[in-house]
Amino acid sequence: MRLTAGPLTLELAPELGGSVAAFEHDGVALMRPMSPPAGSVPHALHSGMFPMLPFANSLRDNRFAVDGRLYEVAPNMKGARLNYHGSGWQRPWRVSDVAPDRCTLALDEVEEAAGYRFSATQRFVLSNDRLEVTIAVTNRSAQHMPFGLGLHPWFPRHGDARAMFSATQALLEDADFQALELAAIASEQDYAAGREPPRAFQNRCYAGWDGRARIDWPSHGLALAVEADPLFGHLMLHVPAHDFETFCLEPQSNRTSAFDGVETGTPAPGVHLLAPGEAVGGRVAFMVHATA
């Protein structure tokens, strides 16, 4: 499915987790084009962006408890012990409405774990200089349940990309990428003044994110500004070990080990306890600027 507005083009793959297959400015990729390895079947993991819900990142040991009842989600990536980003990105979405420059995708009711159900929508609106994405999740369970959400864009380096964003703390993680504690941001991990993301594996959750980020591609004379609603108080920086030519800046409501504290009534920041039928959502804008 292809949307256009001025110099911008957006291609969506509803059947592949409601993902973005391409986002371009006059032919220059602003997000990684759908790029399945040779001989493999296309998948949201090969896309330019996919949704994260009913939580972002992971749950501690794949479990959480509400009102004394334990819920457990299944691992969802080959070779991984944890469930990453829920199952929204692994299920087909349907087109609920479409126009030349906008589209709404819907994910009908999903049971993430026995008794833990949700539905979701993504609204894409393209204009001459920006893409706006509004993502929302609705509790379809019979009781109040915890939820988080986010977007997982993949950005190409184009050789010389620089990233800029501000946050107050970084989350330390164990070897299984589960949360340990918040700490001051080390100087080599501080992007407030802008820097090139390392060409090495990175997986770091930043807390106290101010909802703004920027990516510059000097060789193309382009920059992409990201502005997110306050709902998205965390930003994940990820550089995949298998591809140092891409990196991710992921706006998300919750941190790693998302539902810690839910059982004791002290959920971590960015976790939303929704009543049956209640929804939560927010908007992220990706705005393109010429710099040369």
* Location of structure tokens 């990536």: 77
d(CA 272, CA 258): 10
User: How far is residue 190 CA from its own chain's centroid?
Assistant: 20
| Adjacent-strand bridge partners of 52 | 150
164: its two tokens: 């800029």
Give me the amino acid identity at 48: G
Its pTM stands at 0.96
Q: Is 189 helix (H, G, I), strand (E, B) or coil?
A: helix
**CA nearest neighbour of 267 among 282, 280, 277, 285:** 280
d(CA 18, CA 91): 8
Q: Exposed, middle or buried: residue 51 (CB in 10 Å: 0-12, 13-18, 19+)? A: buried
Query: Is there a cis peptide before residue 54, judged by omega within 30 degrees of 0?
Result: yes
Q: Is 117 helix (H, G, I), strand (E, B) or coil?
A: strand
pLDDT in tens, the chain (292 residues): 999 999 999 999 999 999 999 999 999 999 999 988 887 888 899 999 999 999 999 999 999 999 999 999 999 988 889 999 999 999 999 999 999 999 999 999 999 999 999 999 999 999 999 999 999 999 999 999 999 999 999 999 999 999 999 999 999 999 888 999 999 999 999 999 999 999 999 999 999 999 999 999 999 999 999 999 999 999 999 999 999 999 999 999 999 999 999 999 999 999 999 999 999 999 999 999 999 7
